[in-house]
Amino acid sequence: MKKHALSSFLLLSALLVAGCGGYKAYMGLHGPSIRNTPDVHENVSLDQECLECHHPDRETDAPKPRHYKFTGCLKCHNEA
């Protein structure tokens, strides 16, 4: 039983340290803030506006997230 608990703990710790992709927001961690580039994101207030540039199918220079199907872009990326 101790071996199973230790293995589970190590696996969860590794996922937390590795970043866990788009699930970071659900674990209380936040992605890069739009406040780092206020000139570009000045009037952004809806998730749909985020995806106008950041959706993988769009041909823009904006970074493309692996988790574009998630909702709550601004909940995760509007932190200082």
Task: Give tens-digit pLDDT for 42-52.
Answer: 989 998 999 99
Q: Is the pLDDT of residue 28 over 80?
A: no
Kindly give, in sequence order, each residue whose CB lies less than 8 Å from that of residue 68, ignoring residues fewer than 6 positions away.
51, 54, 55, 56
Report whether 57 contacts 64 (CB < 8 A): no
Number of Cβ atoms within 10 Å of the Cβ of 73: 22
The full set of domain ranges for the chain reads 22-77
Report whether 71 contacts 26 (CB < 8 A): no
Q: Is the pLDDT of residue 73 over 80?
A: yes
Q: Is the pLDDT of residue 23 over 60?
A: no
